[in-house]
Amino acid sequence: METPLNKGGSTGRQGLKNVPDEEIIKLYLDSRASAYFTVLYRRYGGKVFSKCISLLKDEELANDATQEIFTKIFLNLAKFSGKSKFSTWVYSITYNFCIDYLRRRKKERNIFSDEDIENSGEPIEDIPDEELLEMEVIRLKKVLENIPTGDKTVLLMKYQDDMSIKEIAEILNKSESAIKMKIKRAKHKAQKTYKDIFKEL
Amino acid sequence: MSEERNSFKRLQDETDLPPGGEKELKNTVSLVHSISRVIELYLPGFFQLLISMSGGGKEKEKYSAPHDTGEKRRDSENSPSEPPL
């Protein structure tokens, strides 16, 4: 049987460049050729690693986490239903893995505590997205390093992964209104942190 | 590329995967493959062994061997199961 992998030998993999994720998964499940899984790793490995570094704040730990996350993805690939995008499924595994890790290590018990999300004390001003989206990368990195994990998680989900409020709510097992509030607060904290760090400028 | 790269996406783009990760993953994948193949091959045999050790395999013999005599077979041949019309 001719597959995109054996078609043209080494150039076969080149031929997979524009093949959608779902098709690669089907090819892998049909053939069990690990090269197909490698294609998925090359597409998402860096992104998963970047999220792990942001959340776990340790490069070595993030590397181990990336390996574990991909092993998990590999073992559960047959269960991917295709209801959501493959990238959303991969990122949901990534976020849940990192959050569970931080909870297990008791570094942060209440990453998404209800009091934090639903506490509606004083009204929070709505910050325009542009303030965050047009920030210099090096500054954004510094800001993200200095805000709580829960806030960082929702900001990454919304602005890095383009997840909808519904998707974020499903992954974090919270209501959509709670997530909206959490994002609003997270943006506020990010702006405040930015001003605190770079106030001299 | 028409897709707009905001600062969050550019931050992600700047992170490179550490070298060796792909090889490590390939090893893990092939190890899992090997283990699952071993399980596929030997697990049914293992369960069969457990069943026969617990005496489950003798059921078959009970129904066939002791009562299966030629005499009985001849009897049943002479007595049809359905009455003649």
pLDDT tens, residue by residue, A41-68 = 999 999 999 999 999 999 999 999 999 9
pLDDT on residue A114: 57
Question: What local confidence, expressed as pLDDT, does residue B70 receive?
Answer: 52
Contacts of A156 in chain B (CB under 8 A): 8
The one-character DSSP state at A126 is P
Give the ipTM of the model, two decimals please: 0.81
pLDDT, tens only, B14-30: 888 877 888 888 888 78
Distance, in Å, from the CA atom of A80 to the CA atom of A102, rounded to the nearest integer, reads 25
A70-76 long-range contacts, CB within 8 A, separation 24+: A70/A41, A70/A45, A70/B25, A70/B28, A71/B25, A71/B28, A71/B29, A71/B32, A72/A97, A73/A40, A74/A37, A74/B28, A74/B29, A74/B32, A75/B32
| Rounded CA separation A169/A179 (Å) | 6
Residue with token string 């097992």: A173
Across the interface, which of B14, B24, B28 has its CB nearest the CB of A137?
Answer: B14
Tokens matching residue A109? 């018990």
Strongest mean pLDDT among A3-17, A145-159, B16-30:
A145-159
Nearest-Cα residue of chain A relative to residue B4 = A133
Domain ranges of chain B: 22-52
Residue B19: per-residue pLDDT: 79
Domain A114-197 CATH assignment equals 1.10.10.10: yes
- Summarize the confidence of residues A93-99 as an average pLDDT: 95
Asked if A67 contacts B32 with a C-beta cutoff of 8 angstroms, the reply is: no
Question: What average pLDDT score do residues A10-25 get?
Answer: 76
Q: What is the pLDDT of residues B34-60, one digit of tens each?
A: 888 888 888 888 888 888 888 876 555
Residues of B with CB under 8 A from a CB of A: 6-12, 14-18, 21-22, 24-26, 28-30, 32-33
Say if residue A151's pLDDT is above 80.
yes
Task: Give the pair of three-digit tokens for residue A72.
Answer: 């998990």
Highest-scoring range by mean pLDDT, A113-122, A132-141, B14-23, B37-46: A132-141
Mean pLDDT of A9-18: 61
Residue A139: predicted pLDDT: 94
Q: Which residues of B touch A144 (CB under 8 A)?
A: 11
Single out the residue of A35, A32, A30, A68 nearest to residue A49, CA to CA.
A68
- Supply the pTM of this predicted model: 0.75
Whether residue B9 and residue A140 make contact (CB cut-off 8 A), yes or no, is no
Provide the residue count of chain A: 201
A27-36 own/partner pairs: CB under 8 Å, 24+ apart? A27/A3, A28/A77, A29/A77, A29/A78, A31/A3, A31/A5, A32/B33, A33/A3, A33/A5, A34/B26, A34/B29, A34/B30, A34/B33, A35/A5, A36/A5
Model confidence at B2, pLDDT cuts 50, 70, 90, reads very low
Contact A38 B22 (CB under 8 A): yes
According to the model, what pLDDT value does residue B83 have? 52
Of the candidates A34, A45, A140, which has its C-beta nearest B17's C-beta?
A45
Q: Where in chain A is the domain with CATH 1.10.1740.10?
A: 11-104
Of A34, A46, A160, the CB nearest to B9: A160
- Report the alpha-carbon distance of residue A39 to residue B37 in Å, rounded: 23
Q: Which CATH architecture has domain A11-104?
A: Orthogonal Bundle (1.10)
A5 pLDDT exceeds 80?
Answer: no
Tokens of A63: 């590397």
Q: What is the mean pLDDT of residues A158-187?
A: 94
Amino acid at position B32, single letter: V
A141 contacts in chain B (CB < 8 Å): 11
